[in-house]
Amino acid sequence: MTVPLAEYKRGASLPSSNPFQRLAALIADIEPLMDPIIMSIGEPQHALPDFTASVLADNIADFRRYPAMNGTPEFRSAVGSWLDKRFHLDGLLDTENGIAPLNGSREGLSFGPIFARDYLGKTDETPVVVMPNPFYQTYAAGAHIADAQTVLMDAIPEHDFLPNLDSLSSETLDRTIAFYVASPSNPEGSVATIDYMQRLIGLARKHNFIIFADECYSEIYRDVPPPGMLEAAKMMAPSAGEVFDKIVVLNSLSKRSNLAGLRCGFAAGDPVFIKNWVRFRGLAAPQIPLPIQAVATRAYSDEGHVIENRRLYNEKYALAEKLLSPLVGKVTPDAGFFLWLNVKKWGDSVSVTKTLYRDTGVKVIPGSYLATNHADGTNPGHDFIRVGLCPPLETTEEALTRLATWLGGKQ
């Protein structure tokens, strides 16, 4: 099935409010029968890396200084070394021009398509931004800011919760300026294969668009490290052109290091695009404070805290599998820290969320709030709820026990 281009209407896929505001309105008048447990938000609650405070203190005076837009050499070197080791890049990444610091990956995801639109020079028709559905809501904001038409690609089990590349027409791809892809995906925790990534890279180079690869959950995996878009590009034949041409990978310390409030991430990949994007950001965006870059430099040079972070999540997944799989089947994804539970047997995502909160106090988020309705009213998140495994083990166990008891009692 080929996804058609509908008539363009600015902001058509932009939600009127974010999913958490909608959730707050949904349950505002409900008094739960049990003490509330918040499992709806993906906010890490594990410990900060133990060096965070000391590195900030050692660099506190640098809050007086304006940082360079392209980051410190130490930051770029640490990120480059981590990427090189983690994704087997053999030193091919240009750490001078192919890495840029961001105020969290959200900044790059929001403003990347603006520069991509101008950089690619596709001005004859309304540009297109392709994104998965469900999606991180910032993708829709990025398309809106770039005044681009969105093409929503349903992330469903039949396609491993990834956009079906075969469903895109040449007309759509020729007008595309940005293609958002998340691996591991949010909320499903699905991981794209190297073959899938290489097919997408081939399309980007053939049809002249930028891949914005959201890899924020790359280090929260179960057993096998997920491959990355830069890794896939490095493995392609030399005839594919410049190694990282048309690829921008975005990552941050929010999930990897439990530093969501630090607001520090990076973009890496195509050195020509990123070098010019940094110049544009010099006109439009704030720099990243030097003490924050110092913490990030240390964090990307340390794997001990990441290993422990991953162990804690996997401990909670083992518990979820034990409690929930007898009721709903396998619940553990390849990566991420969410459960994406099909609750069709118990109702739609909104009604289940409301009743579950009323009966048990467990606050989850309806899958339909993380996706956009199609013109016919269908929504790929209609049958799912997202459960975040961010609270401590004891709290998570209590929440999952209540959830399992509720599901079992409704059979």
Query: How far apart are alpha carbons 221 and 298 in whole angstroms?
Result: 22
Structure tokens at 56: 């900030």
What local confidence, expressed as pLDDT, does residue 9 receive? 72
Q: Which of 256, 255, 265 is CA-nearest to residue 292?
A: 265
Query: How far apart are alpha carbons 56 and 318 in whole angstroms?
Result: 35
Residue 17 confidence class, pLDDT cut points 50, 70, 90: confident
Find out whether 131 and 177 touch, Cβ atoms under 8 Å: no
Taking CA atoms, 19 is separated from 24, 41, 136, 305, 409, in Å, by 9, 10, 10, 30, 28
- The third-level CATH classification (topology) of the domain covering 52-301 is Aspartate Aminotransferase; domain 2 (3.40.640)
What local confidence, expressed as pLDDT, does residue 1 receive? 40
Query: How far apart are alpha carbons 115 and 190 in whole angstroms?
Result: 29
What local confidence, expressed as pLDDT, does residue 265 receive? 98
Domain spans of the chain, in order of start: 19-42+305-409, 52-301
**Residue 89 DSSP class:** -
**CATH class of the domain comprising 19-42+305-409:** alpha beta
**Number of Cβ within a 10 Å radius of residue 260:** 15
Which of helix, strand or coil describes residue 15? coil
Strand pairing class (384-388; 365-366): antiparallel
pLDDT exceeds 60 at position 311: yes
Which of helix, strand or coil describes residue 225? coil
Contacts of 137 (CB under 8 A, 6+ apart): 15, 18, 19, 370
Structure tokens at 357: 């909160």
Per-residue pLDDT of 322-381, as tens digits, reads: 999 999 999 999 999 999 999 999 999 999 999 999 999 999 999 999 999 988 899 999
Per-residue pLDDT of 247-294, as tens digits, reads: 999 999 999 999 999 999 999 999 999 999 999 999 999 999 999 999
Phi and psi (nearest 5°) for 323? Answer: -85, -35
* Intrachain domains 19-42+305-409 and 52-301 with the same fold: no
pLDDT exceeds 70 at position 84: yes
Q: Which of 168, 179, 164 is CA-nearest to residue 209?
A: 179
What local confidence, expressed as pLDDT, does residue 5 receive? 64
Per-residue pLDDT of 214-242, as tens digits, reads: 999 999 999 999 999 999 999 996 655 68
Sequence letter at residue 54 = S
More confident call, 406 vs 2:
406
Q: Which of 397, 112, 125, 389 is CA-nearest to residue 265?
A: 112
Q: What is the sign of the dihedral through the CA atoms of 66, 68, 69 and 72?
A: negative
**Number of Cβ within a 10 Å radius of residue 32:** 16
**Residue 184 DSSP class:** S
Find out whether 361 and 37 touch, Cβ atoms under 8 Å: yes
pLDDT exceeds 80 at position 10: no
- pTM to 2 decimals? 0.96
Find out whether 284 and 119 touch, Cβ atoms under 8 Å: no
Taking CA atoms, 166 is separated from 2, 7, 173, 192, 252, in Å, by 7, 21, 11, 15, 30
In our burial notation (b when 16+ CB lie closer than 10 A, e otherwise), range 292-301 reads bbbbbbbbbe
Q: Which of 115, 119, 71 is CA-nearest to residue 96?
A: 71
Q: Which of 270, 281, 273 is CA-nearest to residue 233?
A: 270
Query: How far apart are alpha carbons 226 and 105 in whole angstroms?
Result: 19
